[in-house]
Amino acid sequence: MRKAAFLSVALSALVLLPAQSQAGSAKPNVYRGKTSQGKPIQFSASKTLITPIRFKVKMLCRDGSLLFGDVSDFEASALRANGSFSDTQRGNTDMVVFEGRVKGNQIKGTLRVKDRLPSGVRCDSQPISFTAKR
Residues 6+ apart with CB under 8 A from 12: none
DSSP letters, 68-87, are: EEEEE-PPPEE--TTSEEEE
What is the residue extent of each domain of the chain? 27-133
Tell which residue, 40, 52, 102, has the closest CA to residue 77.
Answer: 52
- Rg over CA atoms, the chain: 21
Give the DSSP H or E segment for 52.
Answer: strand 49-61
What is the chain's pLDDT, residue by residue, as a tens digit (134 residues)? 333 333 333 333 334 444 443 444 467 799 999 999 999 999 999 999 999 999 999 999 999 999 999 999 899 999 999 999 999 999 999 999 999 999 999 999 999 999 999 999 999 999 999 999 99
CATH tag for 27-133 (out of 3.40.50, 2.40.128, 3.10.110, 1.10.150): 2.40.128
